[in-house]
Amino acid sequence: MSFNINEVSAGMLSAIKGAVAEDWPEVKATAERFLQNKKERLALLAELRIKGELSQAKFESRLQDEKLILEAELNALAVLSKAIAQNAANAALEILGKAVTAAISAAL
């Protein structure tokens, strides 16, 4: 079997999609960007292992590093989403607060 980084990347993206399920729309762009940015490095890592120039232990160690990087990028996405949610809630409640203040002022 030959190694094709494009097919592997598509499979990785599909696995991420399956793992995040309904959150896919929020994760898609980050996951695609991660894989695109790392494609050459992942291809080189795979090539070195396939050619026997990298031991299985070293390969697994490097894969673990890549997992941690992806996890950090996805965690950053979660933080960003939380910040966006907080900003939206603050803005909505500010409108409510102003409307209540205006109603009280009008009643006086």
The residue whose two tokens read 């079997």 is 1
The least confident of 42-51, 68-77, 83-92, 96-105 is 83-92
Delimit the domains of the chain by residue range.
5-107
Q: Are 33 and 47 in contact (CB under 8 A)?
A: no
Q: What are phi and psi of 25, to 5 degrees?
A: -55, -35
Look up residue 26 and give its two tokens. Answer: 């929020």
Q: How confident is the model over 16-70, as pLDDT tens digits? A: 888 888 888 888 888 898 889 988 999 999 989 998 899 999 999 999 998 888 8
